[in-house]
Amino acid sequence: MILISLLLIAVSVLMHVSWNLMARHVDTQCHFLWWGLLTHLVLLGPIGVYGLLVDAHWSWTLVGAIVTTMLANSLYFIGLRHAYAKAPAAYVYPLARSSPLLIILWAWLWFDEIPGTQALLGILISVVGLWLLASGGKQGNARRALPWIVLAAFCTSIYSLSDKVAIGYLPSLPAVLGYVSLGYGASFVLLSALNYWQQGRVIPACRPQWRFVLPGGLFIGTAYVLVIYVMQYLPAAYVVAFTNSGIVIASLFAIIVMQEREHWRQRLLGAIVISFGLVVLGMGL
């Protein structure tokens, strides 16, 4: 089952990288994330909600996990939105993905779950690689962005653990899809409120091209569904750490294909360190 789990993570990573690369081609005024969440809710939301209502093993624990994930997901998007307004994604996103260390801490405090020495070493190495990668993209007002980055990383650790709890009550992929759709629904409402507060309108000023919106909307939720589904076989910190391989792919793509040469040696070193850490983690499974 380990091999299948890693395969599902790989598919999730490819989807995640794909929609993030699509977002790079969209005017920031169009708010790609808003349109992506809307597309997910329209196309996949009804199927997911039906699957959640029919298949889930309902309990107060599951309800608590749903509420926790909805709140943490919403605050995560707020953190990223404010951080991106102050510093580039090349600096913000790797730091926000340092959450596996927090997940290990919460899992130890709440569930008395301690990873093996090799797994812990692999995660630590990969996080150091994330910090190296981020330092190569340090532009803008990084100091003002840092509190929002910390909020995003903290919320990632919270909803990852609530996802780990919830998966025990979600026996099917449609049920997991419904769980994700509820969280995305809350995030969409919050982003809509922010649009209205900041711009006086709920709908963004422009819409991305359909060739970006449709696949982006399908991938943004499906990638998350696969990540949660795998958590029934692997610890949450392991899964989140492995998904950071997407940052490596995106960084190599930017350096090699898009010819982004600024601080490329440091960014390449960061990608190599992340990859080495994930190999160490994988050998410890």
- DSSP class of residue 172 equals S
| Rounded Cα gap, residues 69 and 163, in angstroms | 7
- 191: three-class secondary structure by DSSP: helix
> CB of 22 within 8 A of CB of 216?
yes
| pTM over the 0.75 mark | yes
For residue 74, pLDDT beyond 70: yes
Q: Which residue has the tokens 């690369």?
A: 21
For residue 203, pLDDT beyond 80: yes
The residue that leads in pLDDT, 101 or 184, is: 184
pLDDT band at 137 (very low <50, low <70, confident <90, very high): low
Q: Which residue has the tokens 């440091």?
A: 266
For residue 120, pLDDT beyond 80: yes
- Alpha carbon of 48 to those of 56, 232, 273: distances in Å? 11, 19, 38
